């Protein structure tokens, strides 16, 4: 399974000190069916623990997810900074999910090449 993060999420993860290994663990959980919230249309919300803390007070991530194929981390926020995503944000994420989950290898290579996406290396 290929895992990616977009540029804004990569910036968020760097500032929050969320490592690629933590992102891979979140995808491994989701692959096993341990999804915190399936928001429909290929969009899931997954909780990630803060360093030295638990998931309940940690971070929330929005992932465009298709089991066994690919996952895109596209949005992250701390629970204490934002309660949840708005309905209009969810609609936008669903539109983006429809487009990005349909990317072929050429489109992925182009997005990686221009810096829009970064591939997260997980040891499957």
Q: What percent of the chain has pLDDT over 90?
A: 81
Residue 100, SS3 per DSSP: helix
Q: For 54-106, how does the pLDDT look when each residue is reduced to its tens digit (9 = 90+)? A: 666 689 999 999 998 999 999 999 877 877 889 999 999 999 999 999 999 99
- Confidence at residue 80, expressed as pLDDT on a 0 to 100 scale: 77
Name 43's Cβ contacts closer than 8 Å, sequence gap at least 6: 62, 63, 64, 65, 90, 93, 94, 97
């Amino acid at each position: 399974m290929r895992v990616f993060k977009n540029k804004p999420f990569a910036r968020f993860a760097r500032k929050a000190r969320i490592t690629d290994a933590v992102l891979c663990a979140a995808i491994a959980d989701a692959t096993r069916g341990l999804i915190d919230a399936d928001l429909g249309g290929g969009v899931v919300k997954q909780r990630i623990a803060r360093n030295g803390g638990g998931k309940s007070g940690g971070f929330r991530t929005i992932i465009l997810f298709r089991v066994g194929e690919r996952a895109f981390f596209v949005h992250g926020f701390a629970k204490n900074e934002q309660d949840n995503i708005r309905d209009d944000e969810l609609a936008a994420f669903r539109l983006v999910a429809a487009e990005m989950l349909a990317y072929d290898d050429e489109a992925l290579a182009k997005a990686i090449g221009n810096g829009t996406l970064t591939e997260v290396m997980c040891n499957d």
